[in-house]
Amino acid sequence: MSQVRSISVVVPAHNEERYLEKCLQAILVAGSRIDVPVETVVVLNRCTDGTESIAAKFHATCLLDQSRCLSKIRNHGVRESSGDIIVTCDADSQIHPEMLRRLVEEIDHGAVGGGVDVRHDRRSAGISVCEAILRILVRLTGVSCGVFWTTRRAFDAINGFDENLVMSEDFNFGRRLRTWGKEFGMPYRTLWDAPVVTSARKFDRFGDWSFLRMIFFDSRRIRRSIKKQDTEFVDEYFYDFNDYQNEG
C-alpha cells in the first residue's frame, strides 16, 4: 500500500490563458492513472486576461498573489494546499501522463523528491543544444528542475523556495532538497522517463540561440539579477514577459 495519501499540484500563472487549459488537462490525465486524490492550486499572479476563468472551469483552487517573485508565489500555493506530496508545475507546461504515478513509486521507495527531464514543444538546433546543456548540468550537479515533486515534510524542512531570490530559485530549491534528503539516505531522483513538455515561447521571442547568448554575453546581467542589483533582465525574461508582443 502506498504511503502517499494525496497530491497537490501548484501552478503559478501570470496571464496564461493561452496555455493553462493544456496544463490543467495534463494534470487531470496524469491524476486519472493513480488511486490518489490530486488537488490543483492555481496561483493567479497579476492576471488581466481569462486565466482565472480557465482555472475555475477545471475546478482548481484559485489564489491571488501580486508578488514579483516566483518563490513567494509558489510558497503561497503550497501553504494553501492540502496534499502530503507537493508538485510544482509552470502554467505553460504539460506534465507527462505517467509522471504522478512515477513519483508515487519513487516516494514509496524512499526518494526525497526530485525533478524531471525538460522538452520543448518545438524543435530546432538552438533549442536542442539548450536541452543538451541542461541535461549535462543535471548529470554534473545531480539536480534536475522542470517540475519539482517532494513530500510536504521535506518542503517544510527546507523552508520551501528561497524568497530572497528573484531568479535561479528552482536550482537553489533542488540543491537544498537534495542535500536535506542525503542526510536521511533519501535520494533525489530525476524522472527521465516522464518528461515535462514546456512552451518554446521564450525562444520564439528572444531567438532559438538565446540560451547560449545569455550564458556568454548576459552572464553579468544574470549575476546582478540574482543579487537583486539590477532587475531589468529578470523582469524582461520572467515577470513582465508577454508573448503577445510577438503579434502585430
Query: In whole angstroms, what separates CA 170 from the centre of its chain?
Result: 8
Parent domain of 182: 7-201
pLDDT tens digit sequence for 25-72: 999 999 999 999 999 999 999 999 999 999 999 999 999 999 999 999
What's the Cα-to-Cα distance from 84 to each of 55, 154, 236, rounded to whole Å?
A: 22, 10, 35
Structure-block grid coordinates of residue 11: 501552478
Q: Residue 66 falls within a domain, yes or no?
A: yes
Task: Give domain status of residue 46, yes or no.
Answer: yes
Band (pLDDT 50/70/90 cuts) for residue 228 is: low
Task: Answer yes or no: is 221 within a domain.
Answer: no
Is position 191 within any domain? yes
Residue 211: its pLDDT value, please?
A: 84
pLDDT at res. 248: 39
**Domain for residue 54, yes or no?**
yes
94-128 per-position pLDDT tens digit: 999 999 999 999 999 999 999 999 999 999 999 99
Q: Where are the alpha helices (DSSP H) in the chain?
A: 20-31, 51-57, 70-79, 99-108, 125-141, 152-157, 169-183, 201-206, 210-217, 219-226, 232-234
Model pTM? 0.92
Q: What CATH code is carried by the domain that includes residue 55?
A: 3.90.550.10
**220 located within any domain:** no
Q: Give how many domains the chain has, as a whole number.
A: 1
- Does residue 172 contact residue 162 with C-beta atoms inside 8 Å? yes
Calpha distance 49→28 (Å, rounded): 23
| Lowest-confidence pick of 8-12, 59-63, 230-234 | 230-234
Domain membership of residue 127 (yes or no) is yes
Average pLDDT over residues 87-95: 98
What DSSP character marks residue 36? S
Q: Is residue 183 part of a domain?
A: yes
Q: What is the mean pLDDT of the chain?
A: 91
What is the per-residue pLDDT for 247?
47
Asked if residues 215 and 223 have their Cβ atoms less than 8 Å apart, the reply is no
H/E run at residue 63: strand 61-65
- Contact between residue 27 and residue 10 where contact means Cβ atoms under 8 Å apart: no
